[in-house]
DNA sequence: GTGAAAGCGCTAACAC
DNA sequence: GTGTTAGCGCTTTCAC
């Protein structure tokens, strides 16, 4: 059915090994041979069988998206969906599939070793990883693992510039006259929580404004709880920056139920720009999160085995709507 | 690293083929041998290498989620994300990855043949497929293809019972006093559009109410356009059932901008129960869509090669909120 | 610069 | 019932 390397070699009048070398792009080959093999390959529409290749190289044929978390519920998240989708889409172009699995925070070493020993796995994309997990990374995985989140020596990081987004958002709130700006953060164990906090604190201190930090968990329920907390501790708050749209929507729900006007009394800004941020009342002011671009780049890096700088930051853009 | 069949065979004191037969569960084997091989396999933690198996059986090692549509934008949809995620999660348990690709409606035969000839593909899950596409299905794919949507001889269907959901929703609207109920449908080319229409028409005719059908496209923008259309053609409409939450939210946005009360003047119901259906104002009354369960069952069916009835319908449940 | 040959881990004839 | 054997398509020494 599909042409094999043998077919290409025969068509080009060379041996299988020569064809393999040319197509693999290593070993020696005369320019002429090179040309003939390439031509034959494209003419026949040759694509190497990843299974056969995996068998001999022992490198595997599926890319695992491993989401770090305390329980399997971390997989049940539209953010994860977007990462997996982008990975599956990129993989399709390489004949590589995407697998999704939970990487339990407390038994990360075990699971990572199993992953490293699994011949079917060609690489992994870590999501929401922590330093502890990265420290437990088996050496044999280095070079075929990337991280959407914080990096590690040998593990390039792909992430949104959420520090920059935070600065920009605080500046926007300040410019629109807000002075008592609270921030709802992500859960403390997630490393992606820190940079926005730093950026927020820096901005507030620089402007001589009070720092009002409340922990959240990226969910709407968490946003509701955090908003109640803010109202309780600092009743004069005039703006809230929630580091996820879900939390921002939860916060707005609380304010609405209290009869507090948004953005009249309190401005609320989110982060992520989820599909329906624009359909709430009021429409949510937020910052974009190019998850698909990030995940696609991450997947491509491990599939192409390209060298990557330790950190690649993707810019986030403010989306001005009604809530702030 | 990982134990091979050879290791198991040696540990059990049998040949590789015997071990293979036992573990594969076909061919003959004495109860004693069977026992020893099984014991050795579990003791060593043996798992067959899907790459090697794929190579010899020619059955492939990745499950393709093929989304039928007019253009690649059909992939860019939270619904697709959920299907892919569930597939990737089920696949992970089998050492199988999920790939995502667009199945262009106008060149379906070509793409399907490529899929059939691709040695890396073990099966496919069709999404939003049409009869025309199913008709073009190569024979070699039969038995390893399932459909989330309409089925076909040899292609079992897994779908939500959207006809039942429609009936239930119309009944709910009727029970709450609505009599001039319009329905916003999906795009005509999608087969999943028909059953809700039939159910709606049957319900309306049975109740002696006027049929008011407007085509949509499952997007919020389509919902806005459809709502304008309804208002234009039947100004006395008192309820709208949109067959997707996105369209319902679009419809609500239009009504809000016109100063029309929801549900006071016009009730609006959606379908899907997307994560933030509950955060709009008013919170959206809708019907659940167990996409993950459906996709997981579909993926499992092709991976396990189990026989399936031609159609498996998954119940949808009404979620009563504020909008209807 | 090129080809012959071995072998990755597994399945499936086929002989015993 | 069981073992022997021949590959699946590819990469990779190692001679030439």
B62: its two tokens: 């990745």
Contact status, residue B180 vs residue B211, Cβ threshold 8 Å: no
Residues of A in contact with B100 (CB under 8 A): 85, 88-89, 92
**Which of 126-185 (B) contact A at CB < 8 A?**
none
Predicted pLDDT at B266: 98
Domains A50-159+291-313 and A162-287 share a fold: yes
- Stretch among A145-154, B110-119, B129-138, B148-157 having the lowest mean pLDDT: B110-119
Return phi, psi of residue A119, to 5°: -65, -20
| pLDDT above 90 for B55 | no
> Which CATH class for the A162-287 domain?
alpha beta
Burial class from Cβ neighbours inside 10 Å (0-12, 13-18, 19+) for residue B278 reads middle
Summarised one tens digit per residue, pLDDT across range A15-52 is 899 999 899 888 788 889 999 999 999 999 888 888 89
Distance of CA A138 to the CA centre of its chain: 21
Contact A294, A140 (CB under 8 A): no
As a whole number of angstroms, the distance between CA B141 and CA B146 comes to 10
Q: Looking at chain B, which residue has its C-alpha nearest residue A119?
A: B49
Question: Residue A198: how many CB atoms within 10 A of its CB?
Answer: 12
Q: What is the rounded distance in angstroms from the CA atom of residue B229 to the CA atom of residue B52?
A: 58
Tell me: the pLDDT tens digits for B212-232?
A: 999 999 999 999 999 999 999
Nearest alpha-carbon partner for A5 in A29, A27, A21: A21
- End-to-end distance of chain B based on CA atoms, in angstroms? 60
Closest nucleotide to the alpha carbon of B28, via C1': D1
Any B CB within 8 A of A101 CB: yes
Choose the closest CB to A88 out of B99, B119, B280: B99
Positions in chain C where some atom is under 7 Å from a protein CB: 1-5, 7-13
Rounded CA gap, A200 and A178, in Å? 14
- List strand C contacts in A 27-66 (CB < 7 A): 27-30, 32-33, 52, 55-56, 58
d(CA A268, CA B245): 24
Long-range CB contacts for residues B146-150, cutoff 8 Å, separation at least 24 = B146/B298, B146/B301, B146/B302, B146/B308, B147/B298, B148/B83, B148/B294, B148/B295, B148/B298, B149/B191, B149/B192, B150/B191, B150/B192
Helix (H, G, I), strand (E, B) or coil at B143: coil
Q: Are B156 and B148 in contact (CB under 8 A)?
A: no
Mean pLDDT of the residues in chain B: 94
What CA–CA distance (Å, rounded) separates B53 from B55? 5
* A 221-260 residues inside an 8 A Cβ radius of B: 246, 249-250, 252-253, 256
Question: Beta A121-127 vs A62-69: how paired, if at all?
Answer: parallel
Rounded Cα distance, A31 and B175, in Å? 79
Residue A99 and residue B94: Cα distance in Å, rounded? 10
Cα first-last separation, chain A: 59
Chain A residues in contact with B253 by the CB 8 A cut-off are: 279
User: Residue B181's closest CA among B195, B196, B162?
Assistant: B196
CA dist A183 and A197 (Å) reads 8
Q: Lowest mean pLDDT: which of A14-23, A83-92, A218-227?
A: A14-23
B126 band by pLDDT with thresholds 50, 70 and 90: very high
pLDDT digits (tens, 9 = 90+) for A171-206: 999 999 999 999 999 999 899 999 999 999 999 999
pLDDT for res B284: 96
pLDDT at B250 over 80: yes
Q: Report helix, strand or coil for A55.
A: helix
A204 CA: distance to closest CA in chain B (Å): 30
* pLDDT band (50, 70, 90) for residue A310: very high
Pairing between β-strand A286-287 and β-strand B97-104 as defined by DSSP bridges: unpaired
pTM above threshold 0.85: yes
Beta bridge partners, B97, equal B62
For residue B54, the model assigns a pLDDT of: 87
Helix (H, G, I), strand (E, B) or coil at B20: helix
Mention every residue, 6+ apart, whose C-beta is less than 8 A from residue A148: A83, A125, A126, A127, A128, A157, A158, A159, A294, A295, A298
d(CA B228, CA A204): 46
Tokens describing residue A293? 């671009």
Which pLDDT band holds residue A208 (cuts at 50, 70, 90)?
very high
Q: Quick one: which of B30, B87, B21 has its CA closest to B48?
A: B21
Across the strands, what pairs with A292? none
Q: Which residues lie closer than 8 Å to A128 by C-beta, 6 or more apart?
A: A67, A68, A69, A74, A148, A149, A190, A191, A192
Block residue for tokens 């629109």? A176
Domain ranges of chain A: 5-44, 50-159+291-313, 162-287
What is the distance between the alpha carbons of residues B204 and B213, in angstroms, rounded to a whole number? 11
- Where does the pLDDT of residue B63 fall: very low under 50, low under 70, confident under 90, or very high at 90 and above? very high
Question: What average pLDDT does this structure show over A278-297?
Answer: 94
Integer Cα distance of A293 and A86 in angstroms:
8
> Each residue of B179-203: pLDDT tens digit?
999 999 999 999 999 999 999 999 9
Domain A50-159+291-313 CATH class label: alpha beta
Answer whether B212's CB lies under 8 Å from B227's CB.
no
- B153 or B29, higher pLDDT: B153
What value does the mean pLDDT of chain A take?
94
Q: What is the mean pLDDT of residues B295-306?
A: 94
In the predicted structure, residue A1 carries a pLDDT above the cut 80: no
A88 in Cβ contact with A97 (< 8 Å) = yes
- Cβ neighbours around B71 below 10 Å, total: 10
Contact A75 B89 (CB under 8 A): yes
Q: Could you tell me if A277 and A319 are in contact, meaning their C-beta atoms sit under 8 angstroms apart?
A: yes
Residue whose entry in the numeric block shows the structure tokens 């172009």:
A93
User: Which residue's alpha carbon is at the shortest distance from the C1' of C7?
Assistant: A56
Best of A49, A50, A51, A223 to mutate (most B CBs within 10 Å, chain B): A51
Residues 6+ away with beta carbon under 8 Å from B30: none
Other Cβ atoms less than 10 A from the Cβ of B150: the count is: 21
Distance CA B52, CA A47 (A): 18
Using a 7 Å CB cutoff, list residues 14-73 of A near strand D: 16-17, 20-21, 23-24, 26-27, 46, 48-49, 52-53, 55-57
Cβ distance A105 to A189 under 8 Å? yes
Q: What single-letter DSSP state applies at residue B149?
A: S
The Cα–Cα gap between A262 and A272 comes to: 19
Structure tokens at B300: 């499992």
Which of B1, B54, B84 lies closest to A84 in CB terms? B84
User: What SS3 state is found at B249?
Assistant: helix
């Amino acid at each position: 059915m599909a042409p094999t390397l043998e077919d290409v070699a025969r068509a080009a009048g060379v041996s299988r090994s020569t064809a393999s070398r040319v197509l693999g792009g290593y070993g020696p080959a005369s320019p002429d041979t090179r040309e003939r093999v390439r031509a034959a390959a494209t003419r026949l529409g040759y694509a190497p069988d990843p299974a056969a290749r995996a068998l001999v190289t022992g490198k595997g044929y599926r890319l695992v998206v491993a989401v770090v978390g305390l329980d399997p519920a971390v997989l049940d998240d539209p953010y994860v969906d977007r990462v997996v989708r982008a990975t599956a889409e990129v993989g399709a172009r390489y004949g590589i599939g995407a697998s999704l699995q939970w990487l339990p925070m407390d038994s990360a070493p075990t699971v990572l070793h199993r992953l490293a020993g699994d011949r079917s796995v060609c690489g992994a994309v870590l999501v929401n990883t922590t330093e502890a997990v990265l420290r437990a990374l088996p050496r044999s995985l280095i070079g075929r693992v990337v991280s959407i989140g914080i990096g590690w020596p040998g593990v390039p990081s792909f992430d949104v510039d959420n520090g920059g987004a935070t600065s920009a958002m605080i500046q926007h709130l300040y410019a629109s006259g807000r002075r008592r700006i609270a921030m709802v953060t992500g859960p403390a164990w997630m490393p992606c929580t820190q940079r926005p906090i730093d950026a927020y604190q820096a901005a507030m201190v620089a402007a001589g404004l009070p720092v009002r930090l409340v922990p959240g968990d990226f969910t709407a329920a968490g946003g509701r709880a955090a908003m109640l907390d803010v109202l309780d501790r600092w009743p004069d708050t005039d703006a809230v920056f929630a580091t996820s749209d879900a939390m921002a929507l939860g916060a707005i729900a609380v304010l609405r139920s209290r009869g507090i006007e948004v953005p009249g009394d309190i401005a609320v800004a989110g982060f992520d720009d989820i599909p329906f941020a624009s359909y709430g009342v009021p429409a949510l002011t937020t910052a974009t999160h190019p998850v698909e671009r990030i995940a696609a780049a991450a997947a491509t890096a491990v599939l192409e085995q390209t060298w990557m700088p330790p950190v690649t930051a993707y810019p986030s853009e403010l989306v001005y709507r009604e809530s702030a």
